[in-house]
Structure 1
Amino acid sequence: MKKIVITLLCTTLILTNVVMMNSEVQASEDGTVLFEKGIVDELSPQPLVNVAIEEKNERFIAETDESQVTIPKDMEEPAILSDNEEGQSLSIQVNLDEKQNETISAEDTVVYETKNTSLGIDAFDGGLRHTYVMENKEAPNTFEVIYDADNISHLELSKDGEGKTDGSILIYDKAGETLAALDIPWAKDANGKDVETYYQINENNTVKQVIKVTDEVVYPVVADPTTFTTYFSSGKWIVRGKGKYNRSLSLVPKAKLRASGAFSFSLPFVVLSNAVAKDSWNKVYNKYKNSKHWEKTTGMKNQYMCHFSFAFGKSAFNLEPKRPVRSYFNTVRPPVYCNPE
């Protein structure tokens, strides 16, 4: 990967962040208006390309080749995120302190209106997003999400090699493999200013997001915890040219995986989204490790993490098993750029 590509990507991310931080949004008594006008996506550090939803049998359905999201009309029922390839389903139930008044479909988002809060649920290719809109100071500043699956074991904050967490969460099955990932928490007020927020993991696989509002906060306040289960549109072994590293595992990432890598650049002291990086790598490893072409797992992992963190804009992540195993630093550094020699 060329140095100029990385520079341009970083510059674009910085400029995008400056625009967001300078945007000013007028508060609305009706949170649905915020979704209809696209204000939620304007505030979000991770723009989302929604999958279209269709109303069927008193529910809303969003489908792609790899996954399906079922969103209920009743907020007290769970949304279901299904991985078609793996045959697994994850139930995601939201608990709010306020009762639901109505349900509205707005711009491919199902919006539940309560007295002081709007909750939006929408699907993207590979996952599901919950968006909380605190419309005024009377709105509750905590929201709970309960995760459930037939083989779910536990949830934990994802940690890096030094034991530090960026706030993202991994969901594990009973075999110790990752089922899904919950991305880094964030919250912004109507002027695009960051609002302190974090996740707590409670009993029964429950995640509570705490949003610490102050007197300086301008409403509405927006937060959108995002759950990932699948990450690639395709993956296959290919041969490129005639060089000694011509064999590669070519992975085409979904847009949201690219966005998660890009998101790490907008946060201070964050190298990458730990949970998404680990879950996506685990699923690559488990799916392709038994291939006759697979070798040098440590080197393949370093190449993968390099692509996730710095080369997320490439059309495909090409992992080349014949390349020598180098340290992560020597996999990333110029002029190597994910291709160690």
Structure 2
Amino acid sequence: MQENDQEGRTAESAASKIQEAVNAAGQNDAAVITPESAVGGVVTSSVRSGTVEITKDGSDASAVLNGGEDGLPISLGLPTAEDAKDARVSADGTTIFTDPNGLVDVGVQTLNDGAVRALTVINNSEAPVEYEYQIDVEAGVVLEPAHGGAILFKGRDGSSEGAILPAWAVDANGSPVKTHYVITGRTVTQVIEHKAEGVAYPVVADPKVYYAWWQLFTWSEWRWNGDYRMNQLSIALSAWGRHDVIFNAGQFLTSGWNLLRQKHSSWIFTDSMRQQWECHVLGGLAEWGTFDLEYERPSNPNWRSRIGSVWPLSATCNW
């Protein structure tokens, strides 16, 4: 009983370090959800159309991500120590694999925007600098490096079916630690340069994986705007959606719009809403993370002429 209590305290300590690092790195835009069950050998979580199943076997840990009908099934092998303890679920919902040697603990979180975040907690300088994630994905899908240090899952038709967002790492002081990915076939290695001078331990690093188109948005819903006295479709972009707006706006212009039309009745989408969408995505003046498309705004095919001529800038897409 004492050993189990100690393992529990170690898991909670690792989860606490992870949360501190997530906050310090500005990666707290999506909340951790609590797993539905942790019975048998699997920790299971559900979020919207997706499911995540994490094996509890510390020596051969993996996470199976399934985005549903519009998703990409992925098995993600985790870089746990060979003799890592079997997983425990911490109070905040993080699945933790602790290293009995105290070098590297591994945590996995399912977030409310659908993403899965895998985190290494590097406790001292004796730990490795490279961490391999073995990725098992359906035939025809390839991993390609993308702008900003991200990795895209590309389908046979060349479209992006998922993404691993750019790597990040911070030390115990919240200072960034240099890190990047290396792709070798279907293995993604995160290189974390934690042995540099001045790094304070523990160091926490993560890949964040999106595996379904619906994860471009955290949510989308119709609302009544009392100021404008009209209905609007409000959309919160996920971290993947924001990354695409910055680095892949041309594709996001189509993929995001198609996703909205799939989720909501397509007949309600007006010419003006499409123009507002283009303005937010391409005009460079989008509210950071949230778009509002008002249903009853008149059509304005010349909306581009408003860029730089309307004040405040936030009003550019509201004509």
TM-score range, shorter chain: 0.7 to 0.9
> Which residue in the other structure is 1:283 paired with?
255
> Which residue in the other structure is 2:109 paired with?
122
C-alpha contact 2:118 2:207 (8 A) present in aligned 1 = yes
Q: TM-score, normalised by structure 2?
A: 0.74
Identical residues among aligned pairs (%): 22
For 2:39, give the aligned amino acid: K
Within 2, Cα distance between the matches of 1:155 and 1:180? 10
C-alpha contact 2:32 2:93 (8 A) present in aligned 1 = yes
Q: CA deviation at 1:134?
A: 0.5
SS of the counterpart of 1:304? helix
Within 2, Cα distance between the matches of 1:332 and 1:62? 48
SS of the counterpart of 2:150? strand
C-alpha contact 1:134 1:220 (8 A) present in aligned 2 = yes
SS of the counterpart of 1:70? strand
Q: CA deviation at 1:118?
A: 0.6
Q: CA deviation at 1:238?
A: 8.8
C-alpha contact 2:104 2:122 (8 A) present in aligned 1 = yes
For 1:35, give the aligned amino acid: A
Within 2, Cα distance between the matches of 1:87 and 1:133? 29
C-alpha contact 1:153 1:174 (8 A) present in aligned 2 = yes
* Unmatched tracts of structure 2, length 5 or more: 1-8
> Which residue in the other structure is 2:13 paired with?
33
Within 2, Cα distance between the matches of 1:240 and 1:119? 44
* Unmatched tracts of structure 1, length 5 or more: 1-28, 159-164, 265-270
User: Relative to structure 2, which stretch is displaced further, 75-84 or 29-38?
Assistant: 29-38
What is the number of equivalent residue pairs in this alignment?
290
Within 1, Cα distance between the matches of 2:50 and 2:157? 22
> Which residue in the other structure is 1:50 paired with?
32
The reply on whether 1:78 has 2:78 as its aligned counterpart is: no
Q: CA deviation at 1:306?
A: 5.7
**Cα RMSD (Å):** 3.9
Within 1, Cα distance between the matches of 2:305 and 2:188? 32
The structure with the largest alpha-carbon Rg is: 2
> Which residue in the other structure is 2:123 paired with?
135
C-alpha contact 2:41 2:57 (8 A) present in aligned 1 = no
Q: TM-score, normalised by structure 1?
A: 0.69
SS of the counterpart of 2:110? strand
Q: Deviations over 1:13-42 (max 9, x none)?
A: xxxxxxxxxxxxxxxx94651314643434
**Which one of 87, 97, 100 corresponds to residue 112 of structure 1?**
97
Map of 1:162-173 to 2, 5 A cutoff? 165-173=147-155
